[in-house]
Structure 1
Amino acid sequence: MKEITDIIKAYNEAVKAGRQSALATVVSVEGSSYRRPGARMLVTDDGMLTGAISGGCLEGDALRKALLVMQQQKPMLATYDTTDEDDAKLGVQLGCNGIVHILIEPINTADENNPVELLKIVTGKRRSAVIATLFSLQDRKAAQPGTCLLLTEDGVIKSACLQPELKEKLLRDMQAALQENRSAIKEYCSHTILTGFIELISPPVALILFGAGNDALPVMQMAAVLGWQLTVVDGRSNYATQQRFPLAQQVIIAKADTALAHVSFDTKTAVVLMTHNYNYDIALLQQLLPLQLPYTGVLGPRKKLDRMLHELEEKGMEITPQQLQSVYGPMGLDVGAETSEEIALSVLAEIKAVMAGSNGSPLRSKLHTIHSHI
């Protein structure tokens, strides 16, 4: 999501400066590649690039093609075949052993349904959305319809001019993508055979950090790099300040018994308890357990969490195995962390793994490909 928000910001600046732009999107991959479908890059007519479609090897050639697209005002499908070991003939050194299809679209600022305007709708709320992009793999010289349809989780539909039958089929597949929580590649028969990238876009992680001590500062910095939405909550007014946490979306001063009333939760919310105040943390944990959030992390040794749970049960609270499944204490992956920066890295890596449904193991131990195929 951070890539999308960076692209929107760069696009707004380009419009303000009166510059043309084009959007390059990875729409299909066969085999291995550095970026997967959904990776984007905005190109402006002065050669500025925002986002990335590869590890740096395709950007130069895509820039040249994007300038041509702006000139012709017609979408183009560019295909890079990296299965041939002689990458030199492409003018790039790839070595990814895959075929990458990239759709490059001119951005018409007068069109309220242009690709970047649709992305603005996606980022406007913390709700999932699906964007459909149509292209012709069979004939790259044929007309490429491009980004043409948006469906949000709350039912908002934005559409380019589409045949009613095609639009109906797309919307069915987009609704399925929302229900199944995954993107898909589909084929559609219009005048020709078209391929559709049905892309699910989910909101970024919302990290609620209870604790505004010095060890919370690197958590803020790393969360900002990842594009996560950060809220900092603490009962100490001299610690919980916007000056100390300038990269946080919210900084809240609240006692433990009222803190949760100031924040909201969804399926992409992670909570970290690191106030270094036992009574504050246990009061929060008591309120958080019934919510069964995707991730609730407790800083400190295992015996601290065990003590907290034992005390809550002694007070009459019934704690179920389901509630404990999403509680992580000690929180973080075992990376040998010692410093506050290393601890922040460990914790955020664990949150990312949990949100992605991954176990956080070394990639070299995987028996299959790194990325699942759409």
Structure 2
Amino acid sequence: MEEIHRIVETIQQTSLRGVLATIIHVEGSAYRKEGTSMLFLEDGSQIGVLSAGCLEAALAHSVPDILASGTSRRFAFDMQSSNPLSWGEETGCGGVVHVALEPVNDVLAAHLGTLKKYLEVRSEVKLVKRFDADGSVIDYGFLTRDQHPFGEWRGEFPPSLLEWTPPGQSPSSGMKFVAALQSDVFVHTYYPKPRLILFGAGPDARPLAAIAAKTGFSVTVTDWRTDYCERRYFPDAESIIIGFPEETMQLIHVTPDDYAVVMTHNFRRDQQLIRLLSERQLGYLGILGSKTRTERLLRDRPVQMKVHSPVGLAIGAEGPEEIAVSILAEIIQTYRTKRKLSSDSR
């Protein structure tokens, strides 16, 4: 998932100066795509990755100059050649990667904080950057899905950039020529964290919640058993809701962008949850248990959406940790497939 969520959290929590790196254009193949960001801090620490280690050292070398000058710069790395690059490493990854480095001053930090607020209320936000001839960023602007602009953009925002891709379709990221400006700009859309809802907080839910949060999901855990719902079991979950299915479902606004796994191990409660979930639309519904058990659960309550059961990819998983990996792998596969289909339909 996108690192921008963790990057902004780090910026808000640290007193260290930082430099934001963003892939703005890729020619050929590369490890990461346009829109991928990472943060370099002045103490040498880094949040996120842009490559499999090919670019980070060279970019880190430029961080002190960026911080000292207070100006942004663009870099191009030719990964097509097997010849050693300027820092003595051979790449041969197959593409040319263009990266923008920007010092995170107080103004940019404030706008990134606003971006985070919109993402937290599950609103998509479009980013537009305009570059000078020397490669520095001269304007940048953010635009929410409901047309609220913020950022540092001089003059009128081009009408063509106010247009949003229809719901359900993924806008492409990268450089785009804007006739009104007679120049190329970088465009990228930031998405809220995908949400994983775990119905059941037993011991096997703990590794799934932990790995999902680490991967970039917003995790909600719900169960009626108070002893299972202690924060120490789910330190990275964004919310823990205690209550029976009828109670908790009134507190959770389920959307087609949500992913849910039913794993209470209580047949009657699972039946209740499936009945309630069948009335809503989800991006993914997985049910833990054997195929025979799931058939019994669905016998009197057909579900219109696809049900993943047995939940998870068939990798022969055993034990809570391996099963968690298989479930999350299937969810990520579903998430990426939906994004690709949306993008291909444009």
Aligned to 2:82: 85
1:55 is aligned to 2:52: yes
Distance 1:104 1:178, change over 3 A: farther
Distance 1:236 1:113, change over 3 A: closer
SS in 1 for 2:30: coil
Aligned to 1:268: 257
1:23 to 20, 24, 32: 20
SS in 1 for 2:253: coil
Aligned to 1:96: 93
Aligned to 1:349: 329
Contact 1:134 1:144 in 2 (8 A): yes
SS in 1 for 2:274: helix
CA distance in 2, matches of 1:71, 1:206: 39
CA distance in 2, matches of 1:178, 1:170: 16
Aligned to 1:367: none
> What does 1:1-374 correspond to in 2, within 5 Å?
3-14=3-14, 17=15, 19-89=16-86, 91-110=88-107, 114=111, 116-117=112-113, 119-135=115-131, 139=133, 141-145=134-138, 148-164=140-156, 167-172=158-163, 175-176=164-165, 180-185=169-174, 186-189=176-179, 193-312=182-301, 319=302, 323-325=304-306, 327-357=307-337
Aligned to 1:366: none
Q: Which has the higher contact order (CA 8 A, sep 6+)?
A: 2
Structure 1, residues 275-322: CA drift from partner, whole Å, max 9, x if none? Answer: 00000001110111121211111111112222122123xxxxxx46xx
CA distance in 1, matches of 2:89, 2:270: 53
Contact 1:78 1:102 in 2 (8 A): yes
Q: What is the Cα deviation at residue 110 of structure 1?
A: 4.0
Amino acid at match of 1:340: P
CA distance in 2, matches of 1:143, 1:5: 24
Amino acid at match of 1:286: R
CA distance in 1, matches of 2:200, 2:135: 56
Contact 1:113 1:160 in 2 (8 A): no
Distance 1:22 1:177, change over 3 A: farther
CA distance in 2, matches of 1:111, 1:205: 25
Contact 1:177 1:183 in 2 (8 A): no
Q: What is the Cα deviation at residue 90 of structure 1?
A: 5.0
Amino acid at match of 2:185: G
Distance 1:79 1:358, change over 3 A: same
CA distance in 2, matches of 1:29, 1:89: 19
Structure 1, unmatched stretches of 5+, are 313-318, 360-370
Structure 1, residues 69-111: CA drift from partner, whole Å, max 9, x if none? Answer: 2222221110001111213445333221100000111222145
Identity across matched positions, percent: 30
SS in 2 for 1:262: coil
Q: What is the Cα deviation at residue 177 of structure 1?
A: 7.1
Q: What is the Cα deviation at residue 340 of structure 1?
A: 1.3
Q: What is the Cα deviation at residue 153 of structure 1?
A: 1.9
Amino acid at match of 1:7: I
Q: What is the Cα deviation at residue 234 of structure 1?
A: 1.2
CA distance in 2, matches of 1:152, 1:261: 28
CA distance in 2, matches of 1:311, 1:81: 59
Paired residues in the alignment total 342
Distance 1:132 1:118, change over 3 A: farther
CA distance in 1, matches of 2:135, 2:100: 13
Structure 2, unmatched stretches of 5+, are none
Amino acid at match of 1:206: R
CA distance in 2, matches of 1:177, 1:144: 28
Contact 2:120 2:192 in 1 (8 A): no
Amino acid at match of 2:329: A
Structure 1, residues 349-371: CA drift from partner, whole Å, max 9, x if none? Answer: 11111122269xxxxxxxxxxx9
CA distance in 1, matches of 2:135, 2:241: 54
Structure 1, residues 133-154: CA drift from partner, whole Å, max 9, x if none? Answer: 2336xx5x354335x1111123
